[in-house]
Amino acid sequence: MIRSILYATDLGLYASYVLQHALAMSRSFKADLYVVHAVEPMGLFAESVLQTYLDEETLGELRRNGLSTVMASIEQRVLEGFRDELGDGQQDLQLIRAVRVLQGDPPAVILEEAQKLGVDLLVVGSHSHGADLAVPLGRTAARIVQLSEAPVYLVPMLQHRGHGDL
């Protein structure tokens, strides 16, 4: 029985397409839907640029409070985006129990959140928005399929390939 679903999104071009699959599954099973978006950690270059332009106190404050503020802002924007996208389908919005934006390696963040929530199913797209569609499976999707303890519902991006690719 599927009682809870985790939808992992990259917030990219195909996110609404994958969201529709997650919502349809959630409606079908009357399951709670959780949404997670992983933000890659700030790289060394960005860190060094910040150190160049900010004093230690400001940089410390940014590290302590800035990231959580940014993450909360992204979570709010994701929810607002869902509201705009769903339009008249506001009852679908009630299926979404939580939206989490977390920093870290996307496959690790998604799998950790799935385990924490104890979800019965993960919904992910086969590729992110910038991926080479000639590759059969994107890096994040491949890692999730390999390592997930819960079943994975993989939404293929085949409609974006040429028909001669098969």
Domain boundaries along the sequence of the chain: 16-132+146-155
State the virtual CA torsion across 87, 101, 12, 109 in degrees, nearest 10: -130
What is the arithmetic mean of pLDDT over 100-122? 95
Confidence class of residue 133 from pLDDT cuts 50, 70 and 90? low
The pLDDT of residue 163 is 46
Confidence class of residue 147 from pLDDT cuts 50, 70 and 90? very high
Architecture of domain 16-132+146-155: 3-Layer(aba) Sandwich (3.40)
| Residue predicted with more confidence, 76 or 59 | 76
Question: ∠ at Cα 121 (69, 137), nearest 5°?
Answer: 85
Q: What is the pLDDT of residues 150-159, one digit of tens each?
A: 999 999 886 5
Rounded distance between C-alpha atoms, residue 76 and residue 79, angstroms: 5
The pLDDT of residue 135 is 72
What is the arithmetic mean of pLDDT over 114-134? 84
Helix residue ranges, H only, the chain: 15-29, 44-53, 56-61, 67-86, 90-93, 106-117, 139-147
Burial group, residue 53, by CB count within 10 angstroms (0-12, 13-18, 19+) = exposed
- pLDDT at residue 125 greater than cutoff 50: yes
What is the arithmetic mean of pLDDT over 5-21? 90
Contact between 12 and 155 under an 8 Å Cβ cutoff? The reply is: no
The pLDDT of residue 131 is 54
- Sign for the pseudo-dihedral over CA of 19, 139, 117, 78: negative
| Residue predicted with more confidence, 92 or 141 | 141
Q: What is the pLDDT of residues 27-50, one digit of tens each?
A: 999 999 999 999 887 677 777 777
Burial group, residue 99, by CB count within 10 angstroms (0-12, 13-18, 19+) = buried
Residue count of the chain: 166
- pLDDT at residue 60 greater than cutoff 80: no
The most confident of 50-59, 77-86, 90-99, 131-140, by mean pLDDT: 90-99
